[in-house]
Chain A
């Protein structure tokens, strides 16, 4: 079955950033960082030592040794003694039990309340959510310390009650974080799928929602633990909670403060232990937060442009844009990964050229390299791209900026995100008109209206005053095209300009592009995964597969008689001409991801014509009847090779 090859490729495929996160990874990644390891180790040490206090402590915490009061660290008393001659180390160990249990109580109560409230409000919404929001607003207005003192006064001197109260009081803030995270998860399709499967809400909340909100919750819990420890110490310092002589870190600090003029050392052990504990919780929270952010922005090895030395091929060409042997690399985990290899591409003046290929074949990054708009770390590592006599690959930044917009312009797939939401359509266009041509306010305005009219708005004044959210997808794309035209470019790069639009709107935009090409003698590089669009719009086209141009030539000839098995397979997978209900002729397997391309033909693993020769070495480009070329050894077995 075809999917077996698919899975082999899938195993090597890198995860889509941001989607890969699963919470088990959060702890593992946190522990992989030195700071996270130190924090966790210190906290673990505190917990273990406090738990084993009866075993580890050299003395009972209340045992007095009046011969040694206020002594500095010595053999008998490793951390010294206090004003009553009690061993500081023993008191610190026993005190840790009280302090850590108190903090755990506050965290437990706080997280339980916050998770329950936040998950319910976020998941079910409606009146439950409205009530929740109202309650949170009220709770956040309550002063925490005053309330805690009141609780201690009313219930009697119970630190447990105070810590439960602390948990309840800080819960609303955390619950809001949980609710926010839950709202985002609730709209995911897998939640709908789970509901359709008949799973009870309880199960969906616990198994699907909870793990997804675990990241932010862990951060909050860690910060709360530090805060609770501090609050516990503060209240003990005030003489609340456990009564002397029972030790807590807080009352040890309080007692030390009383004799600070006689033995300042006494402040050091409890102060350092407490301070470090709070710091460790804070650091742990930071590391956990960083690791969840890091999974989307990993540090990668950047590619560096290599000056082309050796043979300098400058073919005498009349082309407007001419790319020769271009290789583009992007940052990879270990070394730069090549995403485009040995690409040759020519666009003549006023010509409409297509660049076809499926997701990840390198077509968009090729277009971006022409504009010098490669993503950070990516670079053209070999070859040359000449536009009107200028080599873009080695051109200065100033030269590229000068070319962009005036000589080369670009239209993107999603018009909604390429327009600034707080700027009107008219100002979007006018700004570029002013930049490229200048002139008086009236002239800029006149030119803006002319441009808007030329992209198919019969009454441009009305459209000019609208904000992007008041435009439909098709209108927004027309505005984006008007912006591209402001500099009267000689080459327009259109990257999937109609993919986000409805089919009937699509036809209008394509018709517009075709008219503009003809009327302004403007060349268009049209990038699309849709063969139907390329066939309708373009004179010539390049078919890309896994970083290679596998076939190029005139659209009519190439699509009628393909000379590469990939082109042939793509054409056959379209459902238009297949018999309804019958199997489509699918290409088996999947595209190999960049970085795991084979030495030989990139398509060989999915090709029915492939032989050992195809897999052994890189396949050269064969020239057929001009302008057709193919990167295939067996093109003569296809109709295009025989023609």
Chain B
């Protein structure tokens, strides 16, 4: 097979909305074209309202594109009949941000992980159970987790469970929608390591969505920067983060507060630290949101 695994062509998504009581149309994604190759991680970075999650949901079939198309392995998947769309669940999977609401609190971990295998893919119970146990081991959870409920697990462990649910079907593409934004720094590192390990082992592709450019840079081969539903820049991760071309990318990188790192001499002097913070001057993106308009 040639060509990219996932190909998003001129995607537009509009929602009916309301601005001060008047009905309007909100354009969440405005003509975005992206592609993801086999085994590749594409990072989508942007702030709230940039449309990054909407793109993920369009790939997952959770929102319907207004125009444009999403191609997966050469097949247009943006307007599929429900039956064919369900079959895609085997190859396109998702890890959501909030590990608390992404697991059904009234179902055991075994039920949550096993049901796509048993009900969507009609595997016999024995095979499904073995797959579930193997997957739990891979994400570093004990086998007895099968019979327990989500409430018994911490945030980081729940995110491991959510990852296990996504990977148990052996997908080729996983949409990671802010997978570590709700987690503490030390747990984030564990989860990012797990995602890297799974990719190295199984070779699937990631569409990695985050507002944190540090995390995106760490995880991605290529990065696409979104602003107000439009793509402002995309390219190799190193290129985009080292030599950003668009001013918005530069402001995103600049807004990331300075590195604190053992042995990093740049933080030695608090004065040098402080000058790197962009002043709240009008005209920057930061202030567009609260300007006097």
Contact = CB atoms under 8 A, between A and B. Distances in A.
- Note whether A and B form a binding pair: yes
B201 interface: no
Nearest to B89: A198
A577 B241 CA distance: 13
Interface stretch (B24-32, B125-133, B248-256): B248-256
B162 interface: yes
Interface in B136-154: 139-142, 145, 149-154
Given A207-B115, A576-B214, A532 B259 contact: yes
Nearest to A585: B189
Interface string A521-541: 000000001111101100100
A192 B87 CA distance: 15
A568 interface: yes
- Most chain A Cβ neighbours within 10 Å, of B105, B165, B185: B185
Interface string B191-224: 0110010000000000000011111011110000
A15 interface: yes
B35 to A, nearest CB: 20
A4 B152 contact: no
Contacts of B157: 3, 6-7, 10, 590
A619 interface: no
B280 interface: yes
The secondary-structure label for the interface of chain A is helix
B104 interface: yes
Interface string A180-219: 0000000011101111111110010001100110000000
- Most chain B Cβ neighbours within 10 Å, of A2, A11, A505, A531: A505
A573 B188 contact: yes
A6 B17 CA distance: 43
Interface in A561-611: 561-562, 568-578, 580-588, 590
Contact of B89 (A196, A562, A576): A196
Given A22-B149, A511-B279, A581-B218, A7 B141 contact: yes
Contacts of B162: 193
Contacts of A207: 107, 111, 115
Contacts of B86: 198-200
A182 to B, nearest CB: 14
A457 B292 contact: yes
B140 to A, nearest CB: 3
B235 interface: no
Contact of B152 (A11, A190, A576): A11
Interface stretch (A75-83, A428-436, A472-480): A472-480
A458 interface: yes
Interface residues of A, number: 98
A504 B286 contact: yes
A196 B151 contact: no
A2 B189 CA distance: 12
B260 A22 contact: no
B93 interface: yes
A46 to B, nearest CB: 30
B23 to A, nearest CB: 17
A245 B207 CA distance: 75
B100 A193 contact: no
B290 A478 contact: yes
Contacts of B160: 3
A354 to B, nearest CB: 11
A576 B261 contact: yes
Interface string A136-165: 000000000000000000000000000000
A9 B292 contact: no
Contacts of A317: none
B244 interface: no
Contacts of A509: 280
A7 B89 contact: no
A196 B94 contact: yes
Interface in B24-79: 47-48, 60-62
B238 interface: yes
Given A531-B185, A586-B186, A200 B193 contact: no
Interface string B250-276: 011011111111111101111001101
A20 B156 contact: no
B255 A504 contact: yes
Contact of B101 (A188, A573, A581): A188
Contact of A15 (B88, B104, B151, B193): B151
Contacts of A40: none
A559 interface: yes
Contacts of A514: 274, 277
- Most chain A Cβ neighbours within 10 Å, of B94, B256, B289: B289
- Most chain A Cβ neighbours within 10 Å, of B152, B252, B284: B152
A503 B184 contact: no
A16 B136 CA distance: 23
A573 B106 contact: no
A1 interface: yes
Nearest to B237: A580
Contacts of B258: 532, 535-536
A535 B261 CA distance: 10
A325 interface: no
B154 A22 contact: no
A10 B290 contact: no
A503 B47 contact: yes
A413 B152 CA distance: 27
Contacts of B104: 188, 190, 194, 208, 211-212
Given A196-B62, A198-B89, A510 B277 contact: yes
B47 A504 contact: yes
B239 interface: no
Contacts of A590: 154, 156-157, 187
Contact of A561 (B89, B262, B285): B262
B10 interface: no
Interface string A447-471: 0000000001111001100000011
Interface string B164-175: 011001000000
B11 interface: no
B115 to A, nearest CB: 7
A189 B102 contact: yes
Contacts of A4: 140, 142
11 contacts: A4-B140, A10-B157, A198-B116, A211-B106, A505-B289, A508-B290, A535-B273, A560-B263, A571-B260, A576-B261, A581-B218
The 7 closest A-B pairs by CB, nearest first: A198-B89, A3-B140, A586-B189, A197-B116, A573-B189, A532-B257, A22-B106
Interface of A: 1-4, 6-7, 9-11, 13, 15-16, 19-24, 188-190, 192-200, 203, 207-208, 211-212, 358-359, 456-459, 462-463, 470-475, 478, 502-512, 514, 529-533, 535-536, 539, 555-556, 559-562, 568-578, 580-588, 590, 639
Given A504-B47, A507-B255, A536-B276, 20 more contacts: A11-B152, A16-B151, A188-B104, A193-B102, A200-B86, A207-B107, A359-B155, A475-B290, A503-B47, A503-B211, A507-B277, A508-B280, A508-B287, A509-B280, A511-B280, A532-B256, A533-B257, A570-B185, A574-B189, A580-B217
Interface of B: 20, 47-48, 60-62, 85-90, 92-94, 96, 98, 100-107, 111-112, 115-116, 119-121, 139-142, 145, 149-157, 160, 162, 165-166, 169, 184-190, 192-193, 196, 211-215, 217-220, 237-238, 251-252, 254-265, 267-270, 273-274, 276-280, 282, 284-287, 289-290, 292
